[in-house]
Amino acid sequence: MQRVIVVLLAALDALIAAAVGVVAVLAPFTLLWVLAFGVHADWGSLWPVSGTLWQFGHGVPLEVTLPDAVLSSLGIAKEAATFAISVPPLALLLFTLIFAARSGRRAAAAGAWLSGVLSGAVVFALLSALIGVTAQAQVLTAPLWAAVLIPASVYFAGLLAGAVTRAWSEGDDGIIDRVHDIVDGWGTGRRYRLSRCAARRSSPSR
């Protein structure tokens, strides 16, 4: 039963992390949308742009394609109509990492870190896929594989780092403890060899 609770809590954490990130992008962008276009704006375009910006905040490179009307009004050549943006803001990415690490540490403290990591990673990947499929903007586009894989990898990295760090320091009665014992064995063997070398050097030569 405890493992099931850990899996459910990790899945809930993934849902909250994705939802908070989306709201952090959607809320201010909605305000800007109203100020720029009014309450009678085309609301159908709001979610695709917001979802794409959520992906960008997690490191997904975007391709910007300017419409012909914008090109003609600004006098921009058609060769410059498409360009890439690949340097994202780090606030959203760091939030996802920290939130995931917290979830991973909690799963490790409950004694089922592997189940928690897998559950959270799968749920966040599914949410990333849902956002990637539904948030298809005309001006801002991203490869679907990157829109799914990169945010999911960010969350998985935070989960794994938090879980392994907690399990390494507190123990997990499993694979982390076995690896810890192996590493300690390497250190013990090295100290033993060093002590033997020091003893040979300090012994009088015959």
What ranges do the domains of the chain cover? Answer: 2-170, 174-206
Per-residue pLDDT at 15 exceeds 60: yes
Percent of the chain's residues with pLDDT above 70: 67
Across 170-191, average pLDDT: 64
Residue 115: pLDDT over 70: yes
Query: Residue 75: what residue type?
Result: G
Tokens of 197: 């070398």
Q: Is 12 left (phi over 0), alpha (psi -120 to 50) or beta?
A: alpha
Q: What is the mean pLDDT of residues 155-160?
A: 95
* Mean per-residue pLDDT, 188-202: 44
How far apart CA 163 and CA 176 sit, in angstroms, is 10
As a whole number, the mean pLDDT across the chain is 77
Condensed to tens digits (0 to 9), the pLDDT of residues 50-95 reads: 888 899 889 888 876 655 444 444 444 454 444 344 445 688 899 9
d(CA 138, CA 76): 18
CA 24 to chain centre: 16
Query: 149: exposed, middle or buried (C-beta count within 10 Å: 0-12, 13-18, 19+)?
Result: middle
C-beta of residue 145 within 8 angstroms of C-beta of residue 88: no
Q: Residue 127 corresponds to which tokens in the numbers above?
A: 């949410």
Query: CA-to-CA distance for 49 and 140, rounded, in angstroms?
Result: 7
Rounded alpha-carbon distances, angstroms, from residue 119 to 14, 134, 149, 152: 9, 23, 16, 12
> Are 80 and 137 a contacting pair, CB within 8 Å?
no
Q: What per-residue confidence (pLDDT) applies to 66? A: 52
